[in-house]
Chains A and B, each alone.
Chain A
Amino acid sequence: MRGATHAKWAACAIAVALTAAACGGGSDSGGSGADGIVSSSWGDPQNPLEPANTNEVQGGKVLAMIFRGLKQYDPKTGEAKDMLAESIETKDSVNFTVTVRPGWKFSNGEAVTARSFVDAWNYGAHLKNNQRNAYFFGYIDGYEKVHPEKGQPSAQTLSGLKVTGDRTFTVKLSQKFSTWPDTLGYAAFAPLPRAFFDDHDAWLAKPVGNGPYLVDSYARGSQMSLRRWDGYNGPDKAQNGGIDLKVYTDNNTAYTDLIAGNLDLVDDVPASQLKNVKADLGDRYINTPAGIIQTLAFPYYDKQWNTADGAKVRTGLSMAINRKQITDTIFQQTRTPAKDWTSPVLGEEGGFDPTLCGKACEYDPAEAKRLIAEGGGLPGGRVTLTYNADTGSHKDWVDAVCNSIKNALGNDRACVGNPVGTFADFRNQIIQSKMPGPFRAGWQMDYPLIQNFLQPLYYTNASSNDGKWSNKKFDDLVDKANAEADPAAAVAAFKEAEKVVRDEMAAIPLWYQNGSAGYSERVSNVALNPFSVPVYEEIKVN
Chain B
Amino acid sequence: MGRYVIRRLLQMVPVFFGATLLIFLMVNVMGDPIAGLCGERQCDPATAAQLRKEFGLDKPLWQQYATYMGNVFTGDFGTAFNGQEVTELMGEAFPVTIRLTLVAIVFEIVIGIALGVVTGLRRGRPVDSGVLLLTLVVISVPTFVTGLLLQLLLGYKWDIIDPSVSTDARLDELIVPGLVLASVSLAYVTRLTRTSIAENSRADYVRTAKAKGLPRGRVIRKHLLRNSLIPVVTFIGTDVGALMGGAIVTERIFNIHGVGYQLYQGILRQNTQTVVGFVSVLVIVFLVANLLVDLLYAVLDPRIRYA
Residues of A within 8 A of B (CB): 2-3, 5-7, 9-10, 13, 17-18, 20-21, 23-30, 44-48, 55-56, 127-128, 130-132, 134-135, 147-150, 204, 219-223, 246-250, 252-254, 256-257, 259-260, 262, 390-391, 421-431, 441-444, 456, 463-464, 466
Give per-residue flags for B142-181: 1 if the beta carbon is below 8 A from chain A beta carbons, else 0: 0000001001100110010011101111000000000000
**Complex contact B82–A48 (CB within 8 A):** yes
User: In the complex, which residues of chain B have a beta carbon less than 8 angstroms from the beta carbon of A254?
Assistant: 164, 255
Query: Which residues of chain B are within 8 angstroms of A5 by Cβ–Cβ distance?
Result: 1
Q: Is the CB of A10 within 8 A of B255?
A: no
Taking a contact as CB atoms closer than 8 A, the residue among A20, A250, A463 that contacts B98 in the complex is A20
Q: B37's contact among A47, A134, A219, A257, by CB below 8 Å, is which?
A: A47
Partner of A130, one of B47, B92, B148, B252: B47
State whether A422 and B270 are in contact (beta carbons under 8 Å apart), knowing that A21-B95, A428-B35, A464-B42 are contacts in the complex.
yes
Q: How far is the CB of B263 from chain A (nearest CB, A)?
A: 11
Question: Is B265's beta carbon under 8 Å from chain A?
Answer: yes
Partner of A257, one of B163, B168, B267: B163
18 contacts across the A-B interface (CB closer than 8 A):
A6-B299, A17-B98, A17-B102, A24-B98, A24-B169, A28-B167, A46-B81, A132-B39, A220-B82, A221-B84, A249-B251, A252-B148, A257-B163, A260-B163, A424-B35, A427-B38, A443-B40, A464-B40
Tell me the complex Cα distance, A194–B44, Å.
Answer: 27
Are B253 and A250 in contact, with the CB atoms below 8 A? yes
Q: Which 3 pairs between the two chains have the least Cβ-Cβ distance?
A: A424-B36, A48-B83, A427-B35
- Please state if A262 and B82 are interface contacts (CB–CB under 8 Å): no
| Distance between A254 CB and nearest chain B CB, rounded to angstroms | 8
Question: How far does the alpha carbon of A425 sit from the alpha carbon of B163 in the complex, in Å?
Answer: 33
Task: Chain B residues near A128: list those with CB within 8 A.
Answer: 50
User: Known contacts being A131-B47, A221-B84, is A444 close to B40, with CB within 8 Å?
Assistant: yes
A260→B46 contact, CB < 8 A = no
The answer, yes or no, to whether B292 is at the interface (CB within 8 Å) is yes
Are B295 and A47 within 8 A (Cβ)?
A: no
Assembled-state Cα–Cα distance A10/B289 (Å): 11
Which of A7, A147, A249 makes the CB contact (< 8 A) with B252?
Answer: A249
Residues of B within 8 A of A221 (CB): 84, 89, 92, 257, 262
B215 contact set on A, CB distance < 8 A? none
Shortest CB distance A57–B (Å): 9
B155 touches A260 (CB 8 A): yes
Q: Chain B interface mostly helix, strand, loop or mixed?
A: helix
Beta-carbon contacts under 8 Å, B67-117 to A:
81-84, 88-89, 91-92, 94-96, 98-99, 102
Size of the B side of the interface (Cβ < 8 Å), in residues, is 69
Closest B residue by C-beta to A204? B83
B residues near A (Cβ < 8 Å) are 1, 30-33, 35-47, 50-51, 54, 81-84, 88-89, 91-92, 94-96, 98-99, 102, 148, 151-152, 155-156, 159, 162-164, 166-169, 251-257, 261-262, 264-265, 267-270, 292, 295-296, 298-299, 302
The answer to whether B31 and A3 have CB atoms under 8 Å apart is no
**Are B295 and A429 in touch, CB under 8 angstroms?**
no
Q: Which of the residues B81, B95, B267 comes within 8 Å of A23, measured between beta carbons?
A: B95
Of A46, A150, A252, the residue contacting B45 (CB under 8 A) is A150
Residues of B within 8 A of A47 (CB): 37, 81-83
Q: Which residues from A are CB-within-8-Å of B159?
A: 260
Query: Is B156 within 8 A of A9, CB to CB?
Result: no
A149 contacts B44, CB within 8 Å? yes
Flag if A148 contacts B40 (CB, 8 Å). Answer: no
Q: In the bound complex, how far is the Cα of B46 from the Cα of A149, in angstroms?
A: 5
Bound CA–CA A249/B50 (angstroms)? 30
Contacting residues, chain A, for B40 (C-beta < 8 A): 427, 441-444, 464
Partner of A429, one of B31, B82, B265: B31
List residues of chain A with CB within 8 A of the CB of B91: 25
C-alpha spacing A255/B95, complex, angstroms: 26
For the complex formed, measure the closest distance between the CB of A39 and the CB atoms of chain B, giving whole angstroms: 11
Contact A132–B155 (Cβ < 8 Å): no
> How far in angstroms is the closest Cβ of chain A from B41?
4
B33 to A, closest residue via Cβ:
A424
- Bound form: Cα–Cα A423–B91 in Å: 27
Residue of B nearest to A280 (CB): B156
Given contacts A6-B299, A29-B168, contact A250 B257 (CB under 8 A): no
Residue of A nearest to B92 (CB): A25
Cβ–Cβ contact B45 & A10, under 8 A: no
Question: B30 touches which one: A10, A44, A422 (CB < 8 A)?
Answer: A422
Known: A249-B257, A427-B35. A10 touches B164 (CB 8 A): no
Q: Which residues of A contact B98 (CB under 8 A)?
A: 17, 20-21, 24
Nearest CB on B from A422, distance (A): 6
* Residue among A5, A44, A134, A421 with the highest chain B CB neighbour number at 10 A: A44
Per the bound structure, the CA–CA distance linking A23 and B91 in Å amounts to 10
Question: In the complex, what residues of A have CB within 8 A of residue B252's CB?
Answer: 249-250, 253
A342 to chain B minimum Cβ distance, whole angstroms, is: 16
Known: A7-B299, A10-B296, A257-B163. A464 touches B41 (CB 8 A): yes
